[in-house]
Amino acid sequence: MKITSIEKQKKEGRYNIFLNGEFAFGLYKETIYEFGLRVNDELDPKKAEEIKTRDEIGFGKRVAYRFLNYKQRSEKEVRKKLKEKKLSDSSIDIVISSLKDLKYINDESYAKSYLQSKILRKPEGKRVLKMKLADKGIPIDIAENIISEQYPPETETEKAAELLKKYEKKVRAKTPVEKKQKCFRFLLSKGFDFDTINEVLRQN
């Protein structure tokens, strides 16, 4: 197959490649430069597939870098973003592997940062935090280890007490029994376990 034309698309940096007079595929200018593609070059099917795959991987890396530029992300979040851009599973795997090698993706580091941010901004119990980390794609063993390390029982109790102090203002007109029931349900909804809740209510 011969490259008979390389035509610029409306999309910035994107070009259409024509083989034997017919549109074959689109490429970014970086890929064209990388392979030194020119009109009248011969391309066999295997080489054409290699070029298209390299183009897709390059595009995926650019998408991932922009996505990671705003804030740290988990592997699951980056995979989802690349999937939205219609990358193949094999290309996604290659992009993810490259990002891990460059330390742009590290689920353990991400989980620590996420946990510290949640504890400071909006304290919650270990149960809810585990669920949220799982939703981010963090393996359960990593989540449990980091929560155990970063969120010891005394800190969790302290944060529960802080939340309770704020919430009590909303139920101060209730009877003692109603107040205790509502406080208990409130802390339970925030992911704190029975032992932590009872300890906080006892100290209150």
| Residue 77 CB neighbours (<10 A) | 17
Taking residues 112-133, report their average pLDDT: 88
State the CATH architecture for 1-43. Orthogonal Bundle (1.10)
With 90 as the cut, is the pLDDT of residue 123 above it? no
Structure tokens at 172: 């101060």
Structure tokens at 141: 């063993």
Q: What is the pTM of this model?
A: 0.79
Per-residue pLDDT tens for 5-22?
Answer: 999 998 888 999 999 989
Per-residue pLDDT tens for 59-98?
Answer: 999 999 999 998 899 999 999 999 999 999 999 999 999 9
d(CA 175, CA 71): 46
The CATH class, in words, for 106-151 is mainly alpha
Q: Do domains 106-151 and 155-204 have the same CATH topology?
A: yes
Task: Report domain extents, the chain.
Answer: 1-43, 52-104, 106-151, 155-204
With 80 as the cut, is the pLDDT of residue 173 above it? no
State the CATH architecture for 155-204. Orthogonal Bundle (1.10)
The CATH T-level fold of domain 52-104 is Arc Repressor Mutant, subunit A (1.10.10)
> Mean pLDDT score of the chain, rounded to an integer?
91
Taking residues 169-187, report their average pLDDT: 86
At residue 199, the 3 state secondary structure works out as helix
Contact 124, 115 (CB under 8 A): no
With 90 as the cut, is the pLDDT of residue 47 above it? yes
